[in-house]
Structure 1
């Protein structure tokens, strides 16, 4: 494998290219007209514009991307995450074109992309599942009976897709019909499939996911867990590894369950098995993401492994030489997704020009980004500017380092989630490890963050004034000494 086309943009495209270049592999970038001057375009050995800014006219054009790969002599395509990364049809088309898809096979993508099919696939392995249906439901009377049987509250979820779309919590029977209709409509609009299923709603859950890596020789490893419970709108904002609540025994059981999930669909490559963990530390299989995750760097920092390199090696047919018993957790890592969003305005997107953009640097600090000062943050794509990742010898050290890194991150021109990240890192619920996926609902308010920012600004002003007055006193003393 001498050349790889990276079918993505921004920080993940750069992330893949860095490893490819270190391995001596040339890279091809594709880009939309909006990304003509983006860093990933400049970093690649070759770059080709594939269409206008909208994703549907550029980054989602699988046939066009395959055509560029063939024209440039690329032997493989790395999809990154998002866009076409979990599109079984694209993975199949890549293989049919004689190219290597750096990811799982289309059958595994298809199975795990359908939550109901995924549940059926893992049933033979005795993996804990949240009580609920394993087939789509549409009949309201049937839904009423199922909900009564498993007990309220219940969760209505789209059978296809994720990211919180097509998802509704129903606390009582009187709300059921309206919420079902809303969930089906949203699922149809977002995924082209209005199928939903119903399951018991876990009231105080934590979101724990296990990183797996599998080769074509039958070897499957788990690379420990990531805690992803700090979310807004069902999407992750702060992730860490390891989790503060898993015991070694529970970690081992969840790891073995994740390996079984991968085995159930003949998985190859890097994947993530997601679980819900309830207040009594019972875990339930949620879904499998058949790609590299946004938060993969925290796993890299605690294991010392390069997951992109492992992806490429597996795609080349190499056997994993790592052994499960040899893998160890080293320290603690945190990741903050730095979105161009305003946490004071319900995390609304904040687009504009990056008038100032200077990421922090230093020991234990890593920034994966795809922007540079002076660039425009486009409205067409996910508004994530970067991932700020830190590593420390333990969790308190990692939290301190994250707060220091946030303080050193200079951004002007757009609002960001940096202040929210600092709010999380100093909140007692987070520092104590006593939090759930309801952290934002239970502990965060824009008013509280605004008050905190005002207090910090006031303290900073007083410190600056004190330093200025001290400076004047010293000048006065020195002047008196000179005159004497």
Structure 2
């Protein structure tokens, strides 16, 4: 059946992004919202809107029963989860399909496999993806941990199998500290995720975070849409992303892209996915796969011309991939700045009333945001309020255009991270492309000093 009405199980800029793609395809949208988001832009623009609960995410955007009820009440025939919230919840995907609704996302079994980091690593290895040297699955005892660490060499990294955001992760410099740090990691993981399973892998000294965008039709066909460099991070949270990476050659892109596309084809993967690697000294090491759309997907759209949300909807509707691998061209350069409602120096959240708003414009400038003057940013959710995406024929031209766009962007009434981005775009290391996942935090420490 053809999808005619999509319920968007999300909020903010991504809900608006999905709404726009759907409307361009002639598909109606249903917005669900908490009481705190009653005046949000995606709620105003959607064809139908349903309040699903109070502000707390657990009572609204994570309330599966309320979302399914909203879909049934509005006669939606598909659900798009966006990113975050329930987007990588295999049980939710199964519930959606059990209610004869189309799930705009990967198969539930693939979400479940890739959501368990130990199983994901095992699966990735079996599919031919290069792995960081480490334990073959979970370490069950400190004796196991000592044996693995001795084999791969110190320093090693202890990671929570169900982890994310740096929680349950410890760097162990030597055997003397292994037992204590493994214990700390297990305790953090238990408290954060209800699962104290940990595994070990080689600690890479100064890597970059390189991820590949993939798409599969669910029937054995898959393509890649190149890489994104997401190395500018603070506390494991991405701040700025670019495509293509300043350090990846065309030959490397073709080689690794071919490997990830084949892996996804062999897996029978359906929809959008991102395979994340650490890259150091010309070597790629698989770290995880995100079975959803990424925040930074617009930079890939800019350099390929492929609308990833439209493609997600088409695949979910049973259609084949709209492009073949040999039809994809990587042209120019794109950078995305995540603009957060927070103090640009202390990073303290800054929710509140937006008294004035003006989006940057001009050629090849895109702003994904639900902001408007008079909108009150709620304190209950992620602090990202806008994404500024700029494209240029060259990386240098893209940076110049991005500087100009940041100067034009006006968000008053709350503090934002715009000044941080303006500083970053003048740093010699960034301009030369010479940075790693550690660079931003070290730079921030120098700024304080």
User: Which TM-score tier does this pair reach, normalised by the shorter chain?
Assistant: over 0.9
Partner of 1:444: 444
Aligned pairs for 1:209-288 (under 5 A) are 209-278=211-280, 280-288=281-289
Q: TM-score, with normalisation over the residues of structure 2? A: 0.96
**Post-superposition shift, 1:269?**
0.2
CA distance in 2, matches of 1:285, 1:99: 33
**Post-superposition shift, 1:162?**
1.7
**Post-superposition shift, 1:446?**
7.2
- Conserved? CA contact 1:340–1:415, under 8 Å: yes
Consecutive unaligned residues of structure 1, counting only runs of 5 or more, are 450-484
Give the stretch that moved more between structures: 66-75 or 76-85. Answer: 66-75
RMSD: 1.5
Partner of 2:34: 32
Deviation per CA, 1:411-430, whole angstroms, max 9, x where unpaired?
22222111111122111111
Q: Is the helix fraction higher in 1 or 2?
A: 1
- Conserved? CA contact 1:111–1:265, under 8 Å: no
SS of alignment partner, residue 198 of structure 1: strand
Partner of 1:352: 352
1:189 to 2:191 alignment: yes
- Conserved? CA contact 1:6–1:27, under 8 Å: yes
- Conserved? CA contact 1:158–1:187, under 8 Å: yes
Q: TM-score, with normalisation over the residues of structure 1? A: 0.90
CA distance in 1, matches of 2:31, 2:40: 11
Match for residue 80 of structure 1 among 74, 82, 88? 82
CA distance in 2, matches of 1:233, 1:93: 34
Aligned length: 447
Aligned pairs for 1:328-407 (under 5 A) are 328-345=329-346, 347-407=347-407
CA distance in 2, matches of 1:233, 1:414: 23
Match for residue 143 of structure 1 among 142, 145, 154? 145
Partner of 1:479: none
CA distance in 2, matches of 1:348, 1:418: 14
Deviation per CA, 1:330-375, whole angstroms, max 9, x where unpaired?
1100000001122311x22222222222221111110001222222
**Post-superposition shift, 1:36?**
0.7
Give the stretch that moved more between structures: 159-168 or 315-324. Answer: 159-168
CA distance in 1, matches of 2:237, 2:392: 25
Partner of 1:205: 207
SS of alignment partner, residue 222 of structure 1: strand
Match for residue 127 of structure 2 among 125, 128, 131? 125
- Conserved? CA contact 2:234–2:440, under 8 Å: yes
SS of alignment partner, residue 349 of structure 1: coil
Consecutive unaligned residues of structure 2, counting only runs of 5 or more, are none
Give the stretch that moved more between structures: 191-200 or 437-446. Answer: 437-446
Give the stretch that moved more between structures: 228-237 or 355-364. Answer: 355-364
CA distance in 2, matches of 1:405, 1:445: 27
- Conserved? CA contact 1:338–1:388, under 8 Å: yes
Provide closer, same or farther for how the CA distance between residues 25 and 446 of structure 1 changes in structure 2, counting only shifts above 3 A: farther
Provide closer, same or farther for how the CA distance between residues 118 and 325 of structure 1 changes in structure 2, counting only shifts above 3 A: same
Partner of 1:62: 64
Aligned pairs for 1:96-135 (under 5 A) are 96-135=98-137
Provide closer, same or farther for how the CA distance between residues 261 and 166 of structure 1 changes in structure 2, counting only shifts above 3 A: farther
Partner of 2:294: 293
**Post-superposition shift, 1:260?**
3.4
Larger Rg computed on CA atoms: 1
CA distance in 2, matches of 1:321, 1:18: 19
Partner of 1:428: 428
Provide closer, same or farther for how the CA distance between residues 141 and 348 of structure 1 changes in structure 2, counting only shifts above 3 A: farther
1:318 to 2:324 alignment: no
CA distance in 2, matches of 1:445, 1:420: 13
CA distance in 1, matches of 2:65, 2:36: 20
Match for residue 164 of structure 2 among 153, 162, 182? 162
**Post-superposition shift, 1:263?**
3.4
- Conserved? CA contact 1:215–1:314, under 8 Å: yes
**Post-superposition shift, 1:261?**
3.5
Partner of 2:43: 41
CA distance in 1, matches of 2:375, 2:169: 35
**Post-superposition shift, 1:264?**
4.9
Provide closer, same or farther for how the CA distance between residues 185 and 370 of structure 1 changes in structure 2, counting only shifts above 3 A: farther
Runs of 4+ in 1 over 4 A off after TM superposition: none
- Conserved? CA contact 1:344–1:447, under 8 Å: no
Deviation per CA, 1:356-395, whole angstroms, max 9, x where unpaired?
2222111111000122222222221100011110000110
